[in-house]
Amino acid sequence: EGEGAFIDAPTHPLVFVDGGFAAALSGIGSLPDGAILGGLADLLARDPAKVEPLLGRLADSERRPMVALNRAWIEDGLVLILPDRAVLDRPVELVFVGGGTSHPRHLVTLGRTAEAVLIERHLGSDEGGFMNCVAEIALGAGSMLRHSIMHGEPDSVLSTATHVVSLGRGASYRGFIFTVGGGLVRHEVEARL
């Protein structure tokens, strides 16, 4: 499963440059009825009622210093919300390029028996940088998320990630991390059943 996660296939591409969502470089395409996919900053500006309640719901900034740092400097990130029984026709692909410091926050919520594939490619840049990503992933009963991450940054990039995954009854989260670059790459995953 891990090897096939990064094959060349049609996706819903979302590109982030220096930590910010680049809509002009992205191509979300058609989605199931009721589905939401896009950049966090843009969706907070356009429809805060659907996004704000998800921020900080799972990731505890009181006992996790990197989550607290992310919360203090949050700028952008991914929002993926699927209603009950929705299935994405192709993977969501996040591509992170550029340098500097960024603190992306990903909010993923899948309704009952919903299904999605999420692929992240962290490419960085030669100028180096620091990325501190936090993902809050809530999976409804019977839903499934396959989440593959590839780190291919130069050695001048430091990358940390905290993923908090809440799984409803019968839900499935399959995570795969492939690291081929980066000066320091650290992932922490907390699963709540």
pLDDT tens column, 115-131: 999 999 999 898 889 99
* Mean pLDDT in residue range 90-101: 94
In Å, how far are 17, 81, 82, 177 from 161, measured between CA atoms? 18, 21, 23, 11
Distance of alpha carbon 79 from alpha carbon 137, whole angstroms: 10
Lowest mean pLDDT among 25-29, 136-140, 171-175: 25-29
The model's confidence at residue 9, banded by pLDDT at 50, 70 and 90, is: confident
* Mean pLDDT in residue range 32-59: 95
Backbone phi, psi, residue 145, to 5°: -130, 125
Distance of alpha carbon 15 from alpha carbon 137, whole angstroms: 20
pLDDT tens column, 143-177: 999 999 999 999 999 999 999 999 999 999 999 99
* Mean pLDDT in residue range 69-74: 95
